[in-house]
Structure 1
Amino acid sequence: MKFRVLAVLGLLGWAPDARAQDGLQISGSIRARYEAIEGQPRAGGNASDQLPGLRTILRADWKHGPIELVGEIYDSREWNANPGTPLSTNDVNVMEPAQAYVMADLGAALGKGTKTTLQAGRMLARIGSGRLIASDDYRNSTNSYTGAIATTAMPGGYTSTLIYLMPHLRLPDDGVSLRDNRFALDSENANIALTGGVLAHQRKGSPLLSEISFIHFGERDAPGHPTRDRSLNNLGLRAGLDPRPGHWDAGFEGIYQWGHVSASTAANAATLTASATFLRASLGYSWAGKWKPHVLAEFDRASGDGTSGTYGHFDSLFGFRRGDLAPSGLYNAVGRANIASPGLRVEVTPSARLDAFIGWRGLWLADSHDSFSTTNVRDATGRSGDFAGHQFDTRLRWWVKPKRLRFEFDGVYLARGAFMKNAPNGRRGDTRYVSFNLIGYF
């Protein structure tokens, strides 16, 4: 396996440009990753672990007039896992046709001054901010959906997006198959679907974006796939000022989530009324110097499940996490669930080939009776407190060869707080996580 990874790394620097004529373009990427962790913060996994992985993407794009056809295969593999490795379909998904869609430019079909596009088939997606529906790029595998997206640009800077999407159930999903990198096609069905839309406003040349959204997620048991029968409505408001050199930037997003969910996947499980919230606020400033420094103060809060009788654990559905909170992969401990977290981040871009950031987050539980974020560490009595620790996070990206070969380093240090040490299934000792990535594009 080591020879295989080294051979791939040697080839990445000269991957050819495979663009064809007559409207057909072939492109793709190969990402080799090595990640390691000491002091795993998630419950139940190995205290220390390491994973070498490889993600290969091959895309074909054909355009003719207003019609575009896209096909894309994701091949995501990991090696060196054992039964104690917290491996999942987030990490492994072999030879999956993640995209196979048609997109049509319908022009002003909905009225003068409008422009409508319709996309249908299998697709990656990012709706609104991506905090509820996204296709994560840091993870080794990604979220894919089958359905349709209709987007209409209207006069005055308004854009509407309507969706019907069935999230894919990534297969196979058992531990033995994942460790062996076995193949099975993902599936989707109408029992699990996302519906709704977003209305956004941003005038041309303006840094101010405003947005209102409504997304419904519904699921019911399918053959061989019991679910928690979630029926969750999500009403969201978002506003923000884009970063610009020499100016302040700011952002706000709030989501209210309500509906019902089963207490477990058992057929006779009790139905719980759900009521949960998510809030993000940020304030930053960008300097116009050579390194383009940007300082960002941020705060994220997602509610947890307490003792009120109402299910209060915010469900982030299919949202991304790396851009706001922390890496996934072997770390995967901090997401939008039962968390209250102020943070400070410093970003620099010394050149077109190099960018980096370093950040700090304080980590608290929004409710001390629920598990902390996505760790599954819990004290149902609430007696272990609500302080989970301090997280220090950094990333560096460097174009070794512009547009062809990019290196990325990610590192996290988690100084555990009292809750992570004293909860019944917690652990002593701090967490160290690193990942080294080399990505070739063609």
Structure 2
Amino acid sequence: MRVAGVLAGAMAAMLPGVAEGQARPDGFDLSATTRLRYETIDGQARAGFNEADDLLNLRTTVLAEYRDGPVRLVAELWDSRVYLAEQGTPVTTGEVNTLELVQAFVEVKASRTVAVQAGRFLLNLGSRRLVAADDYRNTTNGYTGLRVDLAPALGWKGTAIYTLPQQRRPDDLGSLLDNRAGLDREGTAQVLWGGVISRARAVAGAMVEASFFHLGERDEPGRPTRDRSLNTAGVRIMREPAAKHFDFETEGILQRGRAAAGLGAATPVQAVRAWFFHADAGYSWGGGWKPRLSVEFDAASGDNPSGRYGRFDTLFGMRRADLAPAGLYNAIARTNIVTPGVRLEATPDARTDWFVAYRPMWLQSRFDGFSSTGVRDASGRSGSFAGHQLDARLRHALTRNLRLEADLVLLAKGRFLRDAPNAPPGRWTRYLSLNATASF
């Protein structure tokens, strides 16, 4: 807590008379954020953790940027910590990454249509379902390497990357609970390369996009992996929401390659045959609140006793925008799930937005663990219905520099989450997070 206070005070002193996000005349800009989140859960749906838990998350970022003509230099420090955690609290490097320079890159705009980045950076590509810098989570995904952006004429855009994903350190539970610092590392033992290409207004006013990513990893001394070698290709068609218009999005992704089901040295490497599909359609009304009503559908393959590995791997994708919060809840991910849904969202004014979404959920494969809960019945006798989820969020900008957010999830557990052999007790999961984000 004292670290955040010192940083906030220092940043405020260094930015007199400079509005948020406004560059200084000399081309130098310095900004920062501090987010405090309190989470509580009762009736944990994930196997192996406390049935009830509380967690306090503190995330502070400091971003420095310098521009000189076509050249931009960026450095960003992240400090992510947790408090109130105890044995049995689900704390990972998704919550803790203390004092890490996640961005340190140079960008050169070679022309009006070509830009190149080199160094450490964040990535949000395409739909963000495969490669993203997750914002709801307390930490983020960083990448080290090369990025090239192309924007030729006629609405075409493209991005190509060759990166070494940053592996957050330390990653042992004791160090995480103590918020110990350690330098993240990257190396050729884990490589992500590929890209996205799109064209605006290509079909009936909709954008069409194609993506391909390859993830390769291998074991290092003392750090076993699942030896993944995954080729993931997708196609997306989307029409953006607009007042008094229908909108839609559909994305299909196929995944092929090889991977082991676990980390053990004796775990065989299997051929991967996995898939994911998303679709939604909505209508936005005009007026003061700008309400939008949409129907949604998400499905991702799970593993079956077939000799091939079928569980879809979302790589470094986000989950909050489509499915549910991470943090203490973190039960719903883009794997072994079939879930339709309905969502109502609105923006009452320029400072406030909210949504509420309902979705029933099934396992795509009843022999695999449900989504990211770790709950599994290898016999398949516990059925395939996981439950009903109600998810809501309210955000309000109290001032120009302070935003408040509340997230609520209610999960009525279905037969599978009640009867599977390792299912945690209880019929309900209740999750609440309260957030305050200050920007400087």
Q: What's the TM-score bracket when you normalise by the shorter of the two chains? A: over 0.9
Q: Please say if residues 30 and 63 of structure 2, whose CA atoms lie closer than 8 Å, have aligned partners that are also in contact.
A: yes
In structure 2, what is the equivalent of residue 97 of structure 1? 101
Separation of aligned partners in 2, 1:361 and 1:236: 24
In structure 1, what is the equivalent of residue 341 of structure 2? 343
- Provide Cα deviations, 1:161-180, integer angstroms capped at 9, x if missing partner: 11111111101101110000
- Provide Cα deviations, 1:93-115, integer angstroms capped at 9, x if missing partner: 0000000000000105xxxxxx0
- Provide Cα deviations, 1:139-178, integer angstroms capped at 9, x if missing partner: 0011001011101001110111111111111011011100
In structure 2, what is the equivalent of residue 422 of structure 1? 419
In the alignment, structure 2 segments of 5+ residues that lack a partner are none
Separation of aligned partners in 2, 1:214 and 1:208: 20
The aligned runs of 1:135-150 (5 Å cut-off) are 135-150=133-148
Helix, strand or coil for the counterpart of 2:194? strand
238-247 vs 266-275, greater mean Cα deviation = 266-275
Q: Please say if residues 4 and 60 of structure 2, whose CA atoms lie closer than 8 Å, have aligned partners that are also in contact.
A: no
- Provide Cα deviations, 1:7-31, integer angstroms capped at 9, x if missing partner: 79x989x885566441110001000
Separation of aligned partners in 1, 2:328 and 2:9: 26
The aligned runs of 1:129-278 (5 Å cut-off) are 129-203=127-201, 208-278=206-276
> Which residue type is aligned with residue 389 of structure 1?
G
In structure 1, what is the equivalent of residue 432 of structure 2? 434
- Provide Cα deviations, 1:25-55, integer angstroms capped at 9, x if missing partner: 0001000110100011100000000011110
Alpha-carbon shift at residue 259 of structure 1 (Å): 0.5
Q: Please say if residues 258 and 275 of structure 1, whose CA atoms lie closer than 8 Å, have aligned partners that are also in contact.
A: yes
Separation of aligned partners in 1, 2:228 and 2:214: 10
- Provide Cα deviations, 1:266-306, integer angstroms capped at 9, x if missing partner: 33431101000000000000000110000110000000001
In structure 2, what is the equivalent of residue 323 of structure 1? 321
The aligned runs of 1:363-382 (5 Å cut-off) are 363-382=361-380
Q: For the structure 1 residues 341 and 5, does the alpha-carbon distance in structure 2 shift closer, same or farther, using more than 3 Å as the test?
A: farther
Aligned mate of 2:59, from 55, 62, 70: 55
Separation of aligned partners in 2, 1:305 and 1:263: 9
In structure 1, what is the equivalent of residue 397 of structure 2? 399
In structure 2, what is the equivalent of residue 408 of structure 1? 405
Q: What's the C-alpha RMSD, in Å, of the aligned pairs?
A: 2.0
Equivalenced residues, count: 432
Name the TM-score, length of structure 2 as normaliser.
0.95
Q: For the structure 1 residues 6 and 145, does the alpha-carbon distance in structure 2 shift closer, same or farther, using more than 3 Å as the test?
A: closer
Separation of aligned partners in 1, 2:392 and 2:3: 25
Q: Please say if residues 156 and 203 of structure 1, whose CA atoms lie closer than 8 Å, have aligned partners that are also in contact.
A: no
Q: Please say if residues 207 and 242 of structure 1, whose CA atoms lie closer than 8 Å, have aligned partners that are also in contact.
A: no
Separation of aligned partners in 2, 1:180 and 1:163: 35
Separation of aligned partners in 1, 2:330 and 2:162: 28
Alpha-carbon shift at residue 5 of structure 1 (Å): 10
Separation of aligned partners in 2, 1:386 and 1:374: 15
Separation of aligned partners in 1, 2:427 and 2:106: 51
230-239 vs 20-29, greater mean Cα deviation = 20-29
In structure 2, what is the equivalent of residue 33 of structure 1? 37
In structure 2, what is the equivalent of residue 111 of structure 1? none
- Provide Cα deviations, 1:334-375, integer angstroms capped at 9, x if missing partner: 000000000111001000011000110111100000000000
Matched, 1:289 2:292: no
Alpha-carbon shift at residue 263 of structure 1 (Å): 3.4
